[in-house]
Every structure is written in structure tokens, then in C-alpha cells.
Structure 1
Amino acid sequence: MKLSSKALLALAISSITATAYAEPASQDFVPTTLAGTSAQSEAKGFIEDFTLGGTTRNWYSHESKYRGGTFSYQKHGETRTDRNRTNWVQGTILNASSGFTQGTVGVKTEVAVYNALVLDRSKRDIKGGSNRTLADSNGDAVDQWSKLGLANVQFRVSNTTLTAGRQNFSSGIVDTIGNRALPSSFEGVSFNSEEFSNLSFQGGVFDRVSPRTEQSLSKFRSEYGNGVETDKVSTLGVNYQPLKSLKTSFFAANVKDFWNQYYFGATHELGDAQQLGLTTGFNYYKTVDEGKKEMGEIDNDTFSLSLGLTHQAHSLTFAYQQVNGNEYFDYLHETNGIYLANSLTSDFNGPNEKSFQIAYAINMAEYGVPGLKFNAYSARGWDIDGTHYTGNNGRAKFAYDGIQSQDGEKHQEYGVGASYALQSGPLKATTVRATYVEHRGSEFQSDGSIKEFRLVTTIPFNIL
């Protein structure tokens, strides 16, 4: 089960959440022209634009399983179980970034050190750590550890940047995930080109991922598969804004010997949120097996459609999602490459699953308390059917072993959240976020029945 930041931070009511606008959204056509300025021509220099800063995050989570579900851990050579798991970690990022050198070709470097300090070190509490607390082979917490989270060199010509090394990357298929004390990052080469006014291009080739709760680099694997690994992920895409009110993106990715995956996303805004605004979000993924078919045979079409109504401080969102395929809709582990509207504590991505979500959010800035927000949501999934899955490609172990028992499974999820961001003072932009989520699944639904309370405080800081 993937605990998505979009749910547990409870801000992604859908892949697109309506926000307040002072004026009606314009439906004007946006012509494609060359960018008016060159970012490289405005470079200040390698030393002159140097920055040193970062963030520190206090990340606390308490989970409870019910309906017979338990967590397990080892003690004195015996396996012990109970319903609860607690993880409490302080994650700090110290980022040093130079400016771009001046000239036709600018050069820049970026290095970020990630440090984790474990505040709850009880073996019984952390239950082996999972992807929350780093633990050794005996299940004991590693009290404190550090690593290079980012280490790259960047080259820029005009408005096009090439980055080589350990880096962040964001797209609908390969995306850094930051819903733990520390985020993930990727090792490889990427580019970002913004030479046109409303058209940009992105791409990259990555061979390793730096996980959220590990010191070393790892090969890529899928979120829901059988643990098989691959060491090459290639992706290429375009972002295009044909109207002032319409933004689109299209990305394709080849995950060597796993699959080819294609993503299309669109967001459209209509009306005036001070009166009534409508935000429509559409996300679509096509996944087909490729190469050695290490994940078995895959032919999967998955989409979500969300409609968000906004009136001043209030927003109400409805989202429908559907999986067309006899396997999970899957994506790469340690990435946030799932932009579906109903990716919550559960991803609602079972074979042939349909799901619906309704969510409400309020921004208290309209009532004189800027930075304070509340939200609540409810989602249900049904018609999960894995009985037709045969995609083992002749292997002894099925890629999605156990999915065949899912016949008419269903589940539901509820969540509430509150957040506050400081608006001024020495701790300006510090955020405090509290969320409570409850998920309840039928007998063979893969996510089970679990409750979680999470409290996260993030403090940014600047040294230079």
C-alpha cells in the first residue's frame, strides 16, 4: 500500500484542486512564440548568486490496523504482532546551490545533504521501519544517518538546462515524492527546455533512485509488483498551454523490461471563483508490457476526471476514476508518478476498479485568518476483479501474485485535515499539518483496514 502525500497531507482533493481567482478565467487562445527573455543572459555569476539554506521537518505518524489486521516485528528471534505502528523522525535538508556562470553556456552546481534523526527508536513501535524509519537487519532503528540527497552539475544555454547527477525531476510518470521526513531523488541525466512562451519540453534517463528512507542508491522497481528490479528509466514529454485557461501535458516513459507508459493530463478553468468557478481535471495513463516482460503481460488503461466548484473560501470537488485492465495500475516505487484524482491512502488502482470521491475544503483567509485551511473527503471503490489475470509470462511466480482472489472487492476511505502556514516573522512559511485518515477494505482488497494520524511540521531556513 502506498501512503500518498496527496491524501495524508490531504491537499490533493483531486489531481487539480480549484483555487480562488480575482477575475474570471480567460478563454483566450495563447499563440506560440519564442520566449521574450533568455534566463542565461540574466545570470549573475557562480559565486554572486550562491545560496545556502534548506528545511527541517518533524514527521510523526501513528497507525492502527483493525478487522484482524496486524503489524509484525522480531524480538528475541520470535515474530510478534500487534495492531499499532508509530514512526517519528526529524528530517533536515541543507542545500548549497551556486548561481550560473555568465556567458553563452552557464554552469551551476547543486549539493544537498539529507540527515535523519530518529525520535522514536522502539523496535516495537517502528515495526521494522518499512519506508518510514531506517532500520537494520535486526529491525532496530538507525538512530541517525546522512547521505547526499542531491549532487549535480547543470549546464544552461538560453532557456534550456541540462542536469547530470543526483537530482529532482517532476512529471506525470517520474516524479520526486516528498511525503516522508525526507524526499526521494534520482540519479541520471535530464533536460528542461522553455524556449517558447507556452510550450516546454522535459526528458531524462535515470538508472538509480535515492529512496526516502535509505542511505544507498537502489535500482527501480514497481509499487505493486513482485520486487523485480530494473536499472534504466527513460522519459520524454511536453507541457503545452493552448488557452489561458487550459494547460496540458503529455509524457511517455520506457521502463526497461517492465513497460512502456504514456500519460496525458489536462486542466481547464472556467468562471470567477468569487462568484462560482469550475476547475476540470483529466488524467489518463496507458501501460503496456515491454522487452523481457519482467512484470508479466500488461495492457492497462486508467483515467480520472475531477470537477471542482469554488465559491470564495469554499471548494467542492467530485472525482471519478476507472481502471481498465486485469492487473493493478502500477507505477515506479519511490516516485509520485501517479497523478490520478483518487490516489489517496489507497491508490484506488485495483484491477478493473471504479471509484468516486467527494471532497470539501475551506480557506480561512477569506475570513481573516490567512494560512489556515481545513478539508475533508470521502472515497469509495468497487467492482475490483482480478480473476481474469494471467499475466505471469510463464514464470513460476505471478508479477501481481494474489490478485486472482480479488473478485468483487470494495473499499472506502475518509479523511480530514487542517494546516497552517505562518505568514510573517522569522519562521515565515513554516507549515504545520495534521491529518486523520481511515481506510476500510473488504476481505481480499489489498490495502486492508487501517487508521492513521499524522502530524508534520516543516520549517524552511536561509543561511546565505
Structure 2
Amino acid sequence: MKLSSKALLALAISSITATAYAEPVSQDFVPTTLAGTSAQSEAKGFIEDFSLGGTTRNWYSHESKYRGGTFSYEKHGVTRTDRNRTNWVQGTILNASSGFTQGTVGVKTEVAVYNALVLDRSKRDIKGGSNRTLADSDGNAVDQWSKLGLANVQFRVSNTTLTAGRQNFSSGIVDTIGNRALPSSFEGVSFNSEEFSNLSFQGGVFDRVSPRTEQSLSKFRTEYTSNSNVETDKVYTLGANYQPFKSLKTSIFGANVKDFWNQYYFGATHELGDSQTLALTTGLNYYKTVDEGKKLMGDIDNDTYSLSLGLTHQAHSLTFAYQAVNGNEYFDYLHETNGIYLANSLTSDFNGPNEKSFQIAYGINMAEYGVPGLKFNVYSARGWGIDGTHYTGNRGVVGKGYDGIQVQDGEKHQEYGVGSSYAIQSGPLKATTVRATYVEHRGSEFQSDGSIKEFRLVTTIPFNIL
């Protein structure tokens, strides 16, 4: 990976800043030792540690396309278009989880039922549903539906757990995504091992994904494929999280997506200073993607990274982030996952071929002014230099790989966003969050995200029954 002059400048700034302020965040080296306690030795029992609870989320979104963009829907066999789309869904998760049985090998089960109730059922409003509202083949909303979101058995020895079945999983490549009324989940087998004090290992093999807005399981496909019928049978992933210093956390993962690609991820976050004076957080995320097997996504050779620099002073935070895609195709990731930890992955992922982007963001935490739980943020991001004219990875086959990006020649775009959130601090609704955001994205003629405005209002209420 070759860092640009801007990325090197950001690193230099972080180094200079690091020497200018006090360092209450310890920079001490953390030796790797065996974990001091065994989680399994503290198991309370299958029934004794049983819990029943969940969350309910009211998810509302209104979108408006502009500069000629439209949404479409079918009515009486005729395709109709307009600029607006509205989705309003109440999603509820009821989760039943046992405790681990006692003994050398602990056994636990987890089952979660996901339910969606559609509050705006207008065919004209939902525009086919997309990945927001479940709709039938005629574009009509499925008024109410349910599914098993989670259903797994877990086995634990010491601090190592093996999970089999439908589950959540989190890494820089395969990660559950929860930005709709209901989250996604994965079908397969995984493990998590925390036998050392500052070093943990994760891995898994998955063959199906449970999408956010579908009742059935699906095979994995990619987010930016030009042919949504291209799917893979298996995803293998393995990695580690390591904290060599109290102030530095790192993560490294690899994944084999059968007949698509091999993808490798490295992430690091370093903290320095004191937020009461000035704290500095530096983040690096890097992905390497190369084609594999039958190359169903075409030829791929892609290096993508982001570098962020965050400054915090009491209630205020200011973040700068630079991101670059080095490759003639999109930086791509698995659909229905959050496997993109890049700093400039916003409403747009800023991941076009050869794209460079820069973001500046400001946030304020009102707890410093006597209103704990209330936060505001605003950001602006710009992407430029998008160039797909050199893409030949589809080898001239229409509908393969990223066919169609060849028209992107010097494309650019910009995104602005403002948001506020409030988390209730006490009482029967404690931990309930309300989040309101407004985002405006404007793209040039062939930039893939187009020009769109969106307002979202999301309320999430956790509850405990047992």
C-alpha cells in the first residue's frame, strides 16, 4: 500500500500533536499472559442464568431524489415514477437465552424471534420496499411478518466458545448490520477464544445470511455486483484482536469468499492525551481484496484504506478522515453485512474505482453542559477522481463483475449530514434511544449513488421480561 502525501501529512500531524500534550492514557506495553479467570468456571447453570428480553424499534425514513432522479413502482401494470419514497416499520426482537451449564464443557442455547409490523403500507410510498420494507412480487407491503433471527447452540470450555446455528458475528469483514428496523444474522459455525489477557481469536464458516428485510435465508452476494444473481456457497473467516499497549488496539482478519475473492483486513486505533485538555485518537483501516477460484466477480486486485484523526476537548470533538481506493473496481463487501470499517463509509461508501475522499465531522456531547444522553453531530464529505475507464475485470462479459463502471470518468460527489440523539438515563425507559438524522448526497452524472436527501427518525426501546 502506498500512502498519499495527504495521508502522510495526517500521520505527521498526529505525531507532532502526540508530543504537545499530557499523556494520562497509559502508553505502557501490555504483556500477553493467560487470562486470570475462566468464564466457564463461573457458569451459573442452564436455567439459573436464563434471560428473556429484547428490543422494539420504530424506524421511519423519507427519501427524495433530485436532479432528475426518481423511484419507480408498478400500478395496474403500468410503471409509475416520482421523487419520493417513505418507509415506516416497527421491528421487535424477543430474545430467550439460557445460561451455560456447569462443568468442564458448558452448553447454552439462544433463540430470538424477529417481528416486523409495517406502519406505512402504501404501495406508492414504499416503492417496492427495497431493503427497508418487505414487499411481495407485486410491490405490495407484507403487513406483518416474523422469522427466527437467532437459533443456536453454544459450547464453552474455559474462555473459548463454539457457536453453531443462526447467530450474530462481528469482525472487519463479516459483521452483523443493524441499521434497519431489524438486523441481519448468519447461518454457520463460529468460535471466539479469549484465553489470553490481551489477545483473542475469532473465526467462522457461514453459508447463509438472514437479510434485514426478508423472511427466508439467502446465499451471500456482494454489495456492488452488477448481477445480483451471482451468489457464493461459503464464507470462511479467521482473525485476531490484539492490544499490545493500553492505548493501542489492533485487529487483523482474513476471509475466503468462495469463488469471489480473498479479502484481508487490518485495523488499528490509538488513543493519546486527556479529553479535559486535548485527546487524540488515530485510526487506520486497510483492506486488500484479490479474486479467487472461479472469479465469479471478475478479476479483482484492490487496495483500500482510510486514515482518521480525532481531537476531543471536553464536550467537543473534531474528526478528519482521508480514504483512498487503489483499484479499477469498487471496493466491495458482502451484502447484508457491515463488513466495511472504512472511516468514510457514510450514506455513500465513497468506494468507487480509484476514488479519493475526505471528511470533516464535528460532535458535541451535552453531558458536559448538564444534559447527559444528548448528543449532536454534523459532517461533510467529498469524493473525487472516480475512474472506472480502465476496468477490464469482467473480460468483456456483460453482467459480470462490475460491468457498467467503465462510464465513470472523473466522477465526484459530496455528502452532508446532521444528526442528534438522546438516550434516557434512568427510569422504566432507561437506555431508550431516539435518533434523528438528515443527510443530503449529490453525485455527478455517472456516480453510482445519485442525488438524494433523506430524513430518518429511529426510536429503540430495550425491555427485560425475565
Q: CA deviation at 1:395?
A: 3.1
**For the structure 1 residues 48 and 21, does the alpha-carbon distance in structure 2 shift closer, same or farther, using more than 3 Å as the test?**
farther
User: Does the 8 Å contact 2:22/2:273 carry over to 1?
Assistant: no
In the alignment, the residues of structure 2 paired with residue 234 and residue 16 of structure 1 have an alpha-carbon distance, to the nearest angstrom, of: 41
User: Does the 8 Å contact 2:70/2:84 carry over to 1?
Assistant: yes
User: Does the 8 Å contact 1:13/1:359 carry over to 2?
Assistant: no
In the alignment, the residues of structure 1 paired with residue 192 and residue 220 of structure 2 have an alpha-carbon distance, to the nearest angstrom, of: 22
In the alignment, the residues of structure 2 paired with residue 52 and residue 454 of structure 1 have an alpha-carbon distance, to the nearest angstrom, of: 29
In the alignment, the residues of structure 2 paired with residue 404 and residue 122 of structure 1 have an alpha-carbon distance, to the nearest angstrom, of: 37
**For the structure 1 residues 9 and 369, does the alpha-carbon distance in structure 2 shift closer, same or farther, using more than 3 Å as the test?**
farther
Q: CA deviation at 1:398?
A: 3.3
Q: Which moved more, 1:294-303 or 1:2-11?
A: 2-11
Q: CA deviation at 1:75?
A: 0.2
User: Does the 8 Å contact 1:19/1:273 carry over to 2?
Assistant: no
2:17 is paired with a residue of what secondary structure? Answer: coil
User: Does the 8 Å contact 1:174/1:336 carry over to 2?
Assistant: yes
1:10 is paired with a residue of what secondary structure? Answer: helix
**For the structure 1 residues 177 and 153, does the alpha-carbon distance in structure 2 shift closer, same or farther, using more than 3 Å as the test?**
same
CA deviations 1:405-445 (Å, max 9, x no partner) are 00000000000000000000000000000000000000000
User: Does the 8 Å contact 2:23/2:272 carry over to 1?
Assistant: no
1:171 is paired with a residue of what secondary structure? Answer: coil
In the alignment, the residues of structure 2 paired with residue 325 and residue 144 of structure 1 have an alpha-carbon distance, to the nearest angstrom, of: 43
**For the structure 1 residues 197 and 55, does the alpha-carbon distance in structure 2 shift closer, same or farther, using more than 3 Å as the test?**
same
CA deviations 1:129-160 (Å, max 9, x no partner) are 00000000000000000000000000000000
In the alignment, the residues of structure 2 paired with residue 7 and residue 76 of structure 1 have an alpha-carbon distance, to the nearest angstrom, of: 54
Q: CA deviation at 1:12?
A: 23
In the alignment, the residues of structure 2 paired with residue 440 and residue 321 of structure 1 have an alpha-carbon distance, to the nearest angstrom, of: 18
CA deviations 1:237-279 (Å, max 9, x no partner) are 0000000000000000000000000000000001111100000
CA deviations 1:46-73 (Å, max 9, x no partner) are 0000000000000000000000000000
CA deviations 1:178-200 (Å, max 9, x no partner) are 00000000000000000000000
Query: Percent identical across equivalent pairs?
Result: 92
**For the structure 1 residues 284 and 297, does the alpha-carbon distance in structure 2 shift closer, same or farther, using more than 3 Å as the test?**
same
In the alignment, the residues of structure 2 paired with residue 166 and residue 301 of structure 1 have an alpha-carbon distance, to the nearest angstrom, of: 32
Normalised to the residue count of structure 2, the TM-score between the two structures is 0.95
Q: Which moved more, 1:20-29 or 1:386-395?
A: 20-29
**For the structure 1 residues 422 and 16, does the alpha-carbon distance in structure 2 shift closer, same or farther, using more than 3 Å as the test?**
farther
Q: CA deviation at 1:24?
A: 1.9
Q: CA deviation at 1:234?
A: 0.3
User: Does the 8 Å contact 1:17/1:279 carry over to 2?
Assistant: no
CA deviations 1:181-220 (Å, max 9, x no partner) are 0000000000000000000000000000000000000000
**For the structure 1 residues 315 and 19, does the alpha-carbon distance in structure 2 shift closer, same or farther, using more than 3 Å as the test?**
farther
In the alignment, the residues of structure 2 paired with residue 155 and residue 28 of structure 1 have an alpha-carbon distance, to the nearest angstrom, of: 35
1:116 is paired with a residue of what secondary structure? Answer: strand
Aligned-residue CA RMSD (Å)? 4.8
Q: CA deviation at 1:397?
A: 2.7
Name which of 329, 332, 335 aligns with 2:334: 332
Higher RCO (C-alpha under 8 Å, 6+ residues apart): 1
Q: CA deviation at 1:20?
A: 18
User: Does the 8 Å contact 1:7/1:343 carry over to 2?
Assistant: no
User: Does the 8 Å contact 1:92/1:182 carry over to 2?
Assistant: yes
1:91 corresponds in structure 2 to 91
- Within 5 A, what are the aligned runs for 1:65-214? 65-214=65-214
In the alignment, the residues of structure 2 paired with residue 174 and residue 430 of structure 1 have an alpha-carbon distance, to the nearest angstrom, of: 27
In the alignment, the residues of structure 1 paired with residue 131 and residue 417 of structure 2 have an alpha-carbon distance, to the nearest angstrom, of: 22
Q: CA deviation at 1:401?
A: 1.8
In the alignment, the residues of structure 2 paired with residue 230 and residue 367 of structure 1 have an alpha-carbon distance, to the nearest angstrom, of: 51
In the alignment, the residues of structure 1 paired with residue 361 and residue 354 of structure 2 have an alpha-carbon distance, to the nearest angstrom, of: 23
1:424 is paired with a residue of what secondary structure? Answer: coil
Q: Does 1:60 align with 2:57?
A: no
- How many residue pairs get aligned? The number is 464
1:220 is paired with a residue of what secondary structure? Answer: coil
1:347 corresponds in structure 2 to 349
- Within 5 A, what are the aligned runs for 1:47-446? 47-224=47-224, 226-393=228-395, 395-446=397-448
1:130 is paired with a residue of what secondary structure? Answer: coil
User: Does the 8 Å contact 2:18/2:272 carry over to 1?
Assistant: no
In the alignment, the residues of structure 2 paired with residue 256 and residue 322 of structure 1 have an alpha-carbon distance, to the nearest angstrom, of: 26
Q: CA deviation at 1:227?
A: 3.7
Normalised to the residue count of structure 1, the TM-score between the two structures is 0.95
In the alignment, the residues of structure 2 paired with residue 22 and residue 377 of structure 1 have an alpha-carbon distance, to the nearest angstrom, of: 28
| Unaligned segments of structure 2, at least 5 residues | none
| Unaligned segments of structure 1, at least 5 residues | none
In the alignment, the residues of structure 2 paired with residue 172 and residue 52 of structure 1 have an alpha-carbon distance, to the nearest angstrom, of: 29
User: Does the 8 Å contact 1:97/1:109 carry over to 2?
Assistant: yes
**For the structure 1 residues 54 and 168, does the alpha-carbon distance in structure 2 shift closer, same or farther, using more than 3 Å as the test?**
same
User: Does the 8 Å contact 2:296/2:400 carry over to 1?
Assistant: no
User: Does the 8 Å contact 1:441/1:449 carry over to 2?
Assistant: yes
Q: CA deviation at 1:394?
A: 5.5
In the alignment, the residues of structure 2 paired with residue 59 and residue 20 of structure 1 have an alpha-carbon distance, to the nearest angstrom, of: 44
**For the structure 1 residues 58 and 309, does the alpha-carbon distance in structure 2 shift closer, same or farther, using more than 3 Å as the test?**
same
